[in-house]
Amino acid sequence: MRLLFIATGLLVAFWFLGDASFSLGYEKHDREEFQRVQHPEFIPSETFIRLSSAGHEQTVADMYWLQTIQYIGTHVIGGEYKRHLFAMADLVTDLSPRLVIAYTLPQTLLPNVNVGREAIDEGRQERHIDQSIALGEKGTANTCDPEKLENIRISDSIAGAVDDPDRRNPCDSYRIPALLGYTYYFYREDFERAITAYKIASAHDDAPFGIRTLASTLSARTGEYEGAARMLLDLSVRSHLDAPMCARAAAELASLYEAELARSDTISEAFLWLVERVRIQTEEHSEHERNFGASLCLEYLGRFQRVVYFQYLDAFSMAYAEQFGEYPDTASDLVDAGYISVVPRDFQPVGADEYIAYVYDPDRGRWTTQIRKQP
């Protein structure tokens, strides 16, 4: 009996010691985990992890990504999480190059500043924008097919990409290039790189229609009028299932546009009125086609008309500057100087006391539009 009590006592003692050891071990692990979340500047390098993870880089990447989420949550006040967010995301995407969320979340958070809540100076903001771009470029390189990317870059067409196996669905997700295009456009005003990124995003089956519209609109803003016009007509023609009448009108305009370009280097006034007449007639006779696809088709036709106006006005900008020593402010200046006979009418509706002016931007050397108050 005495031996039984001794044995039982030893077992209880070992159990308490084991439990205490386990608790101490857990607490130590918890402290280390807390340290990594609170001080991510101490995270190891990719090389160290690859040498020490025994082939389990993906598991380690998942662990560090979870810690990145925790880090954001515990440092959200004042935007402090942005100090080390790029380094953490860069490490995770080194270990797991196709983890899309590890690109897109930092791409979204880094460049944006919550005014009044984040104490981030201009220098840090510029670094964060650069970091967002770096992650976007890295993600595009790691998750996209390079041959398809090249085919997209050299093509004017957006709409046809989703039917072309050499361009269709080039990346694991449209979101990485879409966010890259957004950052180039809104934070850097680098329209050429933004166009390329949006074209890549547009080639995906699940890409929102707005991304395709942005690609064509930005082409017009960079002075690539022919490319923008063709993109918009391609998008209109693709709506044939929802809006057959509008799609047929777009196909007709596409043929007439190519004939106009073959006829002369400049757009004629007669072609302008032809485009406007076709657009208005299509809108009037498309009432029975009213649906989302038809609305998009008519929007694309309107934007095509605007781009053609830009192309038409651009032909007279240099001549005006040579005559008057400065570029025209608006299309009305070209009318007053006798270069054109009438001010273009934009398709977009505005308020009763407003109008859309066609304005020349001398810094960028191209035409754009502005909403102005009626004189």
3-state class (DSSP) for residue 100: coil
Q: Is residue 92 part of a domain?
A: no
Mean pLDDT score of the chain, rounded to an integer? Answer: 80
Amino acid (one-letter) located at 373: K
Identity (one letter) of the amino acid at 49? I
Could you tell me the pTM of the whole model? 0.63
Dihedrals phi, psi of 144, to nearest 5 degrees:
-120, 155
Residues 151-167: tens digit of each pLDDT: 988 876 665 666 788 98
Give how many domains the chain has, as a whole number. Answer: 1
Range 300-313 average pLDDT: 91
**Boundaries of domain holding 193:** 144-222
The tens digit of pLDDT for each residue in 66-112 reads 888 888 778 766 667 888 899 999 999 998 999 999 999 999 889 88
Residue 301 lies in a domain: no
Does some domain include residue 181? Answer: yes
In a domain, 248, yes or no: no
CA atoms within a 13 Å half-sphere pointing along the CA-CB vector of 118: 19
Half-sphere exposure of residue 290: CA atoms within 13 angstroms, side-chain side: 5
In a domain, 156, yes or no: yes
What is residue 59's predicted lDDT score, i.e. its pLDDT? Answer: 79
Assigned domain for 293 exists: no
In order of 192, 209, 330, 337, 357, the CA distances from 375 in angstroms are 35, 36, 14, 20, 12
In this prediction, residue 11 carries a pLDDT of 42
Mean pLDDT of 135-147: 97
Asked whether residue 4 carries a pLDDT value surpassing 60, the answer given is: no
Confirm whether 66 is domain-assigned.
no
Q: Quick check: is 323 in a domain?
A: no
pLDDT (tens digit, 9 = 90+) per residue, 182-216? 899 888 888 889 989 998 998 898 887 677 777 77
Rounded Cα–Cα distance for residues 41 and 25 (Å): 24
